[in-house]
Structure 1
Amino acid sequence: MSLRRTRSFALTVVVCAAVFTTACTVASPGSPSPVASTAPDAALQPFYDQKLSWGPCAPYATTATDRTAFANPKFDCARFEVPLDYTKPDGEKAEIAVLRQKALDQDARIGSLLMNPGGPGASGMSALTSIVSGGIGGGPLAQRFDLIGFDPRGVGASMPKIDCLTDAEQDAEREKTFADPSPAGVAAADANSELYAQRCTERVGTEVLANVGTRDVVRDMDILRAVLGDAKLNYLGYSYGTRIGSAYAEEFPGNVRALVLDGALDPQQSTIDRAVDQNAGFQGAFDAFAAWCSQQQTPCPLGQDPKQATTVFQALVRPLIDNPLPAGPGRVLSFADAQTGVSQALYVSAAYPILFQGIAGLATGDGETLLRLADFYYDRAPDGRYSNTIEAFTVISCVDEERITDRAQVAELNRRADEVAPFRSTGRGPVNSLDPCAFWPVPPTSKPHVPQVSGLPPTLVISVTGDPATPYEAGIDLAKALDGRLLTVEGNQHTAALQGDQCTDEIVTQYFIDLVLPPEGAQCKLA
């Protein structure tokens, strides 16, 4: 699993559940101004003046799951145009796909509520159908807002699409584990990364690769705000979606009505430090699972002493580096996929039972359960088809993150990662090979920095104490950077908003509807 990759809990928990079946006070911050404060450049005005042509969503489906969800007549869909390159508004265009559930009470409608599930690379259209089916589809927010999911440029149903690998190439990629720190091992890993970059360049094109980052997504989102007819933006972003939200706040502070950022990426933290912190977060989640596992009636496959669980797991998983495990017809469980499957289940404590089964299977020579968990992470359907979520993650990360080409820095990153997350370590020492971004044909378009925001209305940042993917402290830092209000949620999962916790959901709902924030120091606790 990539060190930087995050997926929103809102998306992850729905996928897991579908396959495996396994009191707060508030204070008012005041009212917003009624009109957008940041006017578009004249050259972009035609994009802001577009009219959406809504229609059935079925033609927008890109996966079997989407085909089922998008067939629901309560959703309608559309696309709108944006410049592929904002420095060339008269040049090539991109199309952004949007899915909507109209406000159930049109007389009381406040506006649109845009949601992004994270990634980068996750489909906002798919995520919205899952969130709606998960419980908010008829609730207060659905009554008062048009609920909007959009696929960021290059993702899902938006066009042009990021598509670097064939399905067979993605299967083959997952079977590889580069654990050899020798010069020959590093050269092989480098060659693999360079080939990935070459394929993306040839199959997607440099102009697309150069213009799919957060810098461009926030500009698209402001056009979307306008074509939806909203003077001000209402936005809920999970995980990487918090980066979109904070970048939008910096670019268009006067166009914000309400902003909820859940599972924060610290905007000023370096790529290396965030990777290390995320590894530490997953080790904490693994330790929490081990403690839970030791208390079950069935003997835990990691043993009954949680302090020894990492050592036991290492003994189970490290043999896969040289000898992948059979995991169903024509497939094997690699070391990399085993780690991905475990980490996928660690996003939410509700998945602990299936992780128990997966590790128990590993201990008895059956890799199928962990492989299925990894398949969920990679968005691989049973028929072997992939969405472009993971490819989009890589491509967007390569223009959003700092580029690490110094092998000493790579070695230090991997050494620190092994130190804070020994359950993920190969045990063979850090490999100082370069990732695909080191071979990328275009430069990054973003860099870590403290947002410079003036005129932003009060915002709400949510951070879960035991979040494995976006550590709690990042939420503290982001709230401070935006001069926003922090809601602390005690629990072990990735993000919390609109996922069934009454305390959290009431605070989020009241904020969006009434612009009322919780008091300083507000806390909720997950059941």
Structure 2
Amino acid sequence: MPHHHRSTRWVQIATAVVSLLLPTAATMAAKPALQACRVEGIPNEVQCGTVQRPLDPARPNGPQIDVHYLVVPAMARNKQPDAVLLLAGGPGQSAISVAPSVMSRLGRLNNRRDLVFIDQRGTGQSAPLQCADESHLPIQEALDPAAQLKRLRQCKESLEKLPYGDLRFYTTTLAMQDFEAVRLQLGVTQWNLVGASYGTRAALEYQRQFPGSVRRTVLDGVAPPDMVLPASFSVDGQAALDALFAACEKDTQAGRGCARRFPTLRQEWQSLLAGLPRTVTVNQPMTGIPETFKLTRSAVLQSVRAPLYAPALAAALPAAIRAAAQGRYEGLLGLSGALASSKALRLAMGMHFSVVCTEDVPRLTTDTQPVGADFGTSDADLYRAVCSFWPRGAVDADFYQVPKAQTPVLLLSGGADPATPPRHGARVATALGAKAQHIVVPQAGHGVMSLGCMHDVVFRFITAATDALALPQDASCAVHIPRPDVFLPPIAPNTKAAGQP
């Protein structure tokens, strides 16, 4: 399998005509007709707008899509001309949907800067590529790989009937050209990019294509273009799980120590895996109705990886693993659904596969990429199966390169992150060069900006008057945050926990 997608004819055409398709400063001299609007979760009135874009840049008169965006106006009258742009994760997350949940992190920046949230093409309100909601499916159907592939085939066929349903044209590269069109329509001099997770890949691609349009960049949970997502899921998930086990073994404090309460945690984990697949009966997390189904190794691995994203949830994994090893699975399945329950975090799976099948899976090999000892290739196998029938766009080889940064970049990594751990941020920081600083918070999970004092670090970085003052930033307030104490389930009076003297 070739290491890169090679440029095809339509990509060459797209590159050649992109400057013609994007509105120029002259044509956008007049302010766009933003409409006052309300967004649930944001108390004040905000502004909504759209920019019309060709689905395929090589066919400017072909099918069009409306790219929707939200502007939270700066509160001060003498606002700064460089707005803050949030690039959402996934791929497949709606930036407008997550806006209310991130306002607390960006609130101080909003004093003198507009905050802008663009629904990337394929997400939210921008030509959405949504598959059916599976949260209420019976557990057996939700976990059955054959049924899952059948649903995704049906989703693909349904999406392809839409006026904008050519699934080849939802790549990160094309989406960032949309973002540049929004910048010009708004008359923003330069963006301050704030990317989270997949949004960091988007930010790097925007910066690669339009370096002059960027003033500062924050990359929180770095997912570089050469990450090869399905393979990294296995390696990085395994590293985070192993770190959890190691931290438990080192926690020997009296009374609440993890090692004292769960002295055989690794063995219980391996015992759990060895007993799979098996038929079990569990209350469905959404309905509470008991269901009997076949619990597979893949399902258990997914259930463990999800809470690893958030250390506060991961603190309950030792108790959940022990219970599952003893035949009680509600805790493990409940933890796995804790993060996915928010509608704001729901991914547009059509867009997700359009991106990953184009940018990652073609670079997925079977013989050179390492895998986690427990996680294996289950994720890679699933993506290979889906991408065997999912349409692929084209990616220029330059997409996988990270040029030297022309303006300051702040990279943030959580040492306990199972998705975008520091190894990715370190590689990107080296490629970006002297204008980049990589901050690692050893005990943080997926997303470092959510830590209270990191709000101030990001604020100082973006508001610094000069590039020389922007870096380096002091993040010692967060670096020493400890791992949360292990969750200990209640114990009946006069009953000793397993492993207690």
Give the TM-score range, shorter chain: 0.7 to 0.9
Aligned length: 448
Match of 1:198 in 2: 153
| Residue 314 of structure 1, aligned match among 245, 255, 270 | 270
Aligned counterpart, 1:240 = 198
Q: Does 1:150 align with 2:118?
A: yes
1:363 Cα deviation from its structure 2 partner: 4.6
Alignment of 1:219-298 (within 5 A): 219-270=177-228, 274-287=232-245, 290-291=248-249, 297=255
* 1:7 alignment counterpart: none
Pick closer, same or farther for the CA change 1:464–1:145 going to 2, 3 Å: same
Shift of 1:396: 2.2
Structure 1 gaps of 5+ residues are 1-37, 59-67, 178-188
Residue in 2 that maps onto 1:132 = 103
Are the aligned partners of 2:85 and 2:193 in contact in 1 as well (CA < 8 Å)? Answer: yes
Q: Give 1:389 shift.
A: 3.8
SS at match of 1:440: coil
* 1:398 is aligned to 2:350: no
Moved more, 438-447 or 227-236: 438-447
- Counting only pairs closer than 5 Å after superposition, residues 479-490 of structure 1 correspond to structure 2 as 479-483=429-433, 484-490=435-441
Using the TM superposition, give the Cα deviation of residue 386 of structure 1 relative to its aligned residue in structure 2, in angstroms: 9.6
Which structure features the higher share of helix residues? 1
Contact 1:346 1:468 in 2 (8 A): yes
State how far apart, in whole Å, the 2-side matches of 1:433 and 1:217 are. Answer: 22
Q: Does the aligned pair in 2 maintain the 1:119–1:241 contact within 8 Å?
A: yes
Is 1:462 the counterpart of 2:412? The answer is yes
**Partner deviation per Cα, 1:316-354 (whole Å, 9 max, x = no partner):** 355452324412315568444443232121112222344
Q: Partners of 2:260 and 2:83 in 1: how far apart?
A: 47
1:94 to 50, 65, 75: 65
Whether the 8 Å CA contact 1:259–1:460 is kept in 2: the answer is yes
Contact 1:153 1:159 (8 Å CA) reproduced: yes
DSSP 3-state at the match of 1:153? coil
Q: Is the 8 A contact 2:361 2:384 kept in 1?
A: no
CA offsets, 1:251-285, max 9 Å, x none?
11111111111211233455576345423433344
Query: Counterpart of 1:57 in structure 2: which amino acid?
Result: R
TM-superposition CA deviations, 1:112-152 (whole Å, max 9, x none): 2111231111221222211114x543x2x121211222221
2:495 aligns with none
CA contact (8 A) 1:162 1:391 kept: yes
Cα gap change, 1:401/1:147 in structure 2, threshold over 3 Å: closer, same or farther? same
Alpha-carbon distance between aligned partners in 2 of 1:45 and 1:286, rounded to the nearest angstrom: 50
Counting aligned pairs with the same residue, the percent is: 22
TM-score, reference length from structure 1: 0.72
CA distance in 2, matches of 1:380, 1:171: 19
Q: Is the 8 A contact 2:240 2:308 kept in 1?
A: yes
Conserved? CA contact 1:268–1:450, under 8 Å: yes
RMSD (CA atoms):
3.9
The verdict on how the C-alpha distance between 1:519 and 1:452 changes in structure 2, with shifts beyond 3 A counting, is closer
Aligned to 1:352: 314
Q: Which residue of 1 aligns with 2:470?
A: 517
Deviations 1:436-459, CA, capped at 9 Å, x for gaps: 112223344366865363772232
Shift, 1:51, TM fit: 2.0
Q: Label 1:111 to 1:320 Cα distance change in 2 as closer, same or farther (>3 A).
A: same
1:210/1:169 CA distance change after superposition, 3 Å: farther
Letter in 2 for 1:490: V
Structure 2 portions without partners, runs of 5+: 1-15, 482-501
2:167 maps to 209
Confirm whether residue 175 of structure 1 aligns to residue 143 of structure 2.
yes
| Residues 104 and 144, structure 1, Cα contact 8 Å, conserved in 2 | yes
- What SS class does the counterpart of residue 55 from structure 1 fall into? strand
Which one-letter code corresponds to 1:116 in the other structure?
L
CA 1:490–1:148 in 2, change beyond 3 Å: closer, same or farther? same
CA distance in 1, matches of 2:350, 2:91: 10
Q: One-letter code of the match for 2:459?
A: T
TM-score (norm 2): 0.76
Once the two structures are overlaid, the 10-residue window that deviates more, 386-395 or 459-468, is 386-395
Matching residue's letter, 2:36 = G
User: Greater CA radius of gyration, 1 or 2?
Assistant: 2
Match of 2:34 in 1: 53
CA shift at 1:75, angstroms? 4.0
